[in-house]
Amino acid sequence: MSIFEYNGSALVAMVGKNCFAIASDRRLGVQLQTIATDFQRIHKIHDRLFLGLSGLGTDTQTLYQRLVFRHKLYQLREERDMKPETFASLVSAILYEKRFGPYFCQPVIAGLSDEDKPFICTMDSIGAKELAKDFVVAGTAGESLYGACEAMFKPDMEPEELFETISQALLSSVDRDCLSGWGGHVYVV
């Protein structure tokens, strides 16, 4: 077993027309045993920036705390919110710092820039950024999410359609993954 599969997770983010959506499942397990069914994997950094963390629960929470801390310091110093691109570089730098003893999590970052341009991005556990124009996935259901998103995604969706697409992609994918499920959270911004 890979340590990334210990708690199970499904994460996906998609880009629409001047909007984005980010969704995750709600399960937290210990291997096949379900522990919690209302686990939060997506966190709000600020109004227009969301962070999803898949992988080992303990590391996702630690990493989240460090990132929120760094973002608050940034807000204090700069008196403004971080741009999604900047935040992605911060996450990448924090992950790469632990290149030889990584956090076991794969983040998904989704945000809106000042001009309402959507930005999504994912990384591996040591901070190799992958910027995508359409959608990004992470977690134990990643493989099935790739399939579902490749088929269902189309460019420039309006928020309503985007919500429907991302929800259907998430739900159909977690159905084929034993380690994630129990419905999902969807954020459309």
Partner 1 sequence: MENSGGFSFDLCKRNGWLVEKGIVKPPSFTKTGTTIVGLVFQDGVILGADTRATAGSIVCDKNCEKIHYMAPNIYCCGAGTAADTEAVTDMVSSQLQLHRYHTGRESRVITALTLLKKHLFGYQGYVSAALVLGGVDCTGPHLHTIYPHGSTDTLPFATMGSGSLAAMSVFESKYKEGLTRDEGIKIVTEAICAGIFNDLGSGSNVDVCVLTKGHKEYLRNNLMPNPRTYVSAKGYSFSKKTEVLMTKVTPLKERVEVIEAGDAMEE
Q: Which residues bind partner 1 (CB under 8 A)?
A: 1-4, 6, 47-48, 70, 92, 95-104, 124-130, 132, 142-143, 146, 151-152, 154, 163-165, 167-168, 171, 183
Residue 4 or 28: the one with the smaller Cβ distance to partner 1 is: 4
Q: How far is the CB of 34 from partner 1 (least distance, A)?
A: 18
Residue 171 or 178: the one with the smaller Cβ distance to partner 1 is: 171
Q: How far is the CB of 33 from partner 1 (least distance, A)?
A: 15
Phi, psi of 67 (to 5 degrees): -70, -40
Q: How far is the CB of 167 from partner 1 (least distance, A)?
A: 4
Residue 3 or 36: the one with the smaller Cβ distance to partner 1 is: 3
C-beta pairs of 90-96 under 8 Å, 24+ apart in sequence: 91/51, 91/67, 91/123, 91/127, 92/123, 92/127, 92/128, 92/129, 93/127, 94/63, 94/66, 94/67, 94/70, 94/127, 95/63, 95/123, 95/125, 95/126, 95/127, 96/126, 96/127
Residue 34 or 96: the one with the smaller Cβ distance to partner 1 is: 96
